[in-house]
Amino acid sequence: MATGPRTISLTLQATDYGLRVTYRVDGVRFPADAVVAQLPVQVAGIPTPSVDLALEDDAGAIPLLVEPTSLDDEAAVRWRTTRATRGAVRATYPARARTVSAGTADGHPPVDLRFEANGVTGQGRSFLALPPGDDPWEIGLTWAFDRHRGGTGVCSLGAGDLELSATPLESLLHCHFMAGEVTTLDYRRPAHQRSYRRGNPFPKGSATPPTRR
């Protein structure tokens, strides 16, 4: 039940194991037994990370009921509240990326959360356990990096931290995310129209103009 503008503040932190996903939901009161998050069991035939979702609100930790379900006729898991929420709802969990190599079998689009070229990449639906529904939200996206690691975060909606208005959460699920050593290939375009790739495609001494972000 909405109690004001639906707002979600999402932070993606690059880690040694992949991404730490943290978000805060404001303007929504979830009743007891409500579905607060869901995630496919696999995407494009590749298993998604096993998510240990922790949820809390202004009253403290919220015990969750985890159960199987389906999304678009595919197996999924969802989390239900065991009590009504109070105030802002905060969620956090580790999303562990898989390691791929030249020997990794082809045949699947690279939408799973994976380590690649000094970074991590994946489509939102492979690691974002978010509330269901197609309501419009005010969305804030923040990237976080260890000060010793550094890096850049980009997604299909733009580079760096973003503020999006009247946007369904489904938009995040269909985004592709990259974090780490990310290179801009066409820096003269606006950020949301640029192309990015993991790593640095320009060898040292190349005549190609330097990357701009």
Q: Quick one: tokens of 172? A: 């995040």
Mean pLDDT of the chain, nearest integer: 85
Q: Dump pLDDT digits (tens) for 177-189.
A: 999 987 765 544 4
Say yes or no to pLDDT of 122 above 50.
yes
User: Beta partners for 172?
Assistant: none
Pick from 31, 162, 22, 155: nearest CA to 84: 31
Q: Dump pLDDT digits (tens) for 22-76.
A: 999 999 999 999 999 999 999 888 889 999 999 999 999 999 999 999 988 889 9
Please name the fold of domain 2-103+123-180.
Immunoglobulin-like (2.60.40)
Say yes or no to pLDDT of 113 above 60.
yes
* Amino acid found at 112: D
Q: Dump pLDDT digits (tens) for 74-91.
A: 899 999 999 999 999 999
pTM of the complete model: 0.83
* Residue 130 and residue 169 in contact, taking contact as beta carbons nearer than 8 Å: yes
* Amino acid found at 159: A
Helices (H) and strands (E) in the chain, counts: 1, 20
